[in-house]
Amino acid sequence: MKPIERSSGGAGAPAHVVSRRAFLRGLGTAAVTAAATSTAAVAAEMEKAGGEATVGPGEVPLEFVLNGKPVRTAAEPRETLLDVLRARFGLTGAKEGCDRGTCGACTVLLDGKPIYACMRLALEVAGASIETIEGQSLAGGLSPVQAAFVKHDALQCGFCTPGFVMTTTALLRANPTPTEAEVRRACSGHLCRCGSQPHIIRAALAAAGVATTTTSTADSLRHDHA
């Protein structure tokens, strides 16, 4: 999915935009992609460059790191990160399930932590690192979390799935061998109307290589009575 590059603000664009862009260019893709430190550096630099200019209400240039790559777009101050990802970048993996911070379908990682993209103004992520589901299956294959979700059928309609995958991914990075209780806590900000939660718990633990849980057991009793 290629981000749509928009030309920035035009005549009214505040001066700091230029230095931000210059900064990102200077930094180079590799450095920005590398690690959180470069993300922090981007943020620090942008704060310096950006000052306290009042922007909007029209479109304002916006730069951040999306799935490891610096990107540039423009957004009105009232646009949420979710709207920008979906409408301006065409990244539709994060879903709008409620638009009110209650379902988790829009979950993305902000500097590595799960947040609701529907409850974040896009301008608020300037300079930060955002990871979406589209950045997970790099090199064509599925990530271990994704593979475990498929193997253990941790999904039905799949609409809530990208959100659960993002949260599980963040959990396992921070805590490679979580307990079942930790999985439940980490995923408590997500809803799944198909009721896939028992298999989600199982998949999350399996992806971590933790012995499988008691949450869901099953037997099929073939020809039990004949």
Partner 1 sequence: MKPFTYQRALSVDTAVAESSERCRLLAGGIDLLGELKEGLVEADKVVAVTRIPGLDTIEKKSAGWTIGANVTVATIAAHADLARAFPGLAAAARDVASPQIRHVSTVAGNLLQHSRCWYYRHRDVTCMKKGGDVCYAREGEHKYHALFTGGYCISPLVSSLAVALTVLDASVVVRGRGGERRLTMAELYAPAWDDHAVHHAIVPGEMLTAIEIPLAARRSAFVQASEKASFDWALVSCAVSLELEGGVVRQARIALGAVSPVPYRDERAEKALVGTRLDETTADAAAALLLEKAEPLPHNAYKVPIARALIKRALLAAATPG
Partner 2 sequence: MPEWPKDPKYIGKSTPRVDGAKKVSGAAKYAHDVQPEGCLYGVVLRSRWAAAKITSIDLAPALKVRGVKAAILVREGSRQVRYYGDELAAVAATSKRAALDALRAIKVVAEPQPHVVKEHLAARPDAPRVFAETPNTGAGRERKQGDPDKGFAEADVVVEGLYATQVEIHQPMETHGGVASFKDGELTAWHSTQGISGVRDGLSGALELPQNKVRVLGEFMGGGFGSKFSAGVEGLLAARLSQAAGAPVRLMLTRFDESLAVGNRPSTFQKIRVGARADGTLTAFSMESYGCAGYAAGGPSAGGSTNSGFPAPYIYRVPNFRTRHTEVSIHAGPAAAFRAPGCPPASFGIESILDELAVKLGIDPVELRIKNDPMELRQRQYRMAAERFGWAAKYRKPGSSSGPVKTGVGCAGSAWRVPGGGTQAEIEVSPDGSVEIRCGTQDLGTGTHTVIAVVAAELLGLTPADIQVRIADSRFPPSGASGGSMTVTSVTPAVFDVCTKAIEELMRTSGLADVRGPQWRAACRKLGVSPLVLQGRWIDGLSAAGTGGVQMAEVEVDTETGFVRVKRVTCVQDAGLLVNELTARSQANGGIMMGIGYALYENRVMDSTSGVMLNPNFETYKLPGIADVPEIDVAFMDLLERRVMGIGEPVTIPTASAIANAVANAIGARVTSLPITPDKVLAALGKVPGAARDNPHDAWMSLFATQPA
119 touches partner 1 (CB under 8 A)? yes
The answer to whether 84 and 122 have CB atoms below 8 angstroms apart is yes
219 touches partner 2 (CB under 8 A)? yes
Q: Which two tokens stand for residue 215?
A: 């949450």
Q: Return the residue matching tokens 């928009």.
A: 6
Q: At what angle do helices 161-174 and 197-207 cross, to 10 degrees?
A: 40
11 touches partner 1 (CB under 8 A)? no
Is 70 or 135 the residue whose CB approaches partner 2 more closely?
Answer: 135
According to CB under 6 A, which one of 102, 156, 212, 213 is a site residue for ligand FAD?
A: 102
According to CB under 8 A, which one of 7, 29, 137, 175 is a site residue for partner 2?
A: 137
Rounded to the nearest whole angstrom, what is the least distance from the CB of residue 119 to ligand FAD in the complex? 8
Can you tell me the distance from the alpha carbon of 18 to that of 30, in angstroms, rounded to the nearest whole number? 21
Peptide bond into 162 cis (omega under 30): no
The answer to whether 73 and 84 have CB atoms below 8 angstroms apart is yes
Task: Choose from ligand FAD, ligand FES, partner 1, none: what does 224 bind? Cβ within 5-8 Å by kind.
Answer: none
Rounded to the nearest whole angstrom, what is the least distance from the CB of residue 162 to ligand FES in the complex? 10
Q: How big is the site for partner 1, counted in residues (CB under 8 A)?
A: 36
Task: Choose from ligand FES, partner 2, ligand FAD, none: what does 116 bind? Cβ within 5-8 Å by kind.
Answer: ligand FES
Work out the number of other CB atoms within 10 angstroms of the CB of residue 37.
9
Task: Choose from partner 1, partner 2, ligand FES, none: what does 123 bind? Cβ within 5-8 Å by kind.
Answer: partner 1
Is 29 or 193 the residue whose CB approaches partner 1 more closely?
Answer: 193
Q: How big is the site for ligand FAD, counted in residues (CB under 6 A)?
A: 2
> Which are the contacts of 90, defined by CB distance < 8 A and separation ≥ 6?
1, 2, 3, 4
According to CB under 8 A, which one of 82, 84, 94, 123 is a site residue for partner 1?
A: 123
Rounded to the nearest whole angstrom, what is the least distance from the CB of residue 147 to partner 1 in the complex? 23
Can you tell me the distance from the alpha carbon of 199 to that of 107, in angstroms, rounded to the nearest whole number? 19
Name the amino acid, one letter, at 195.
G
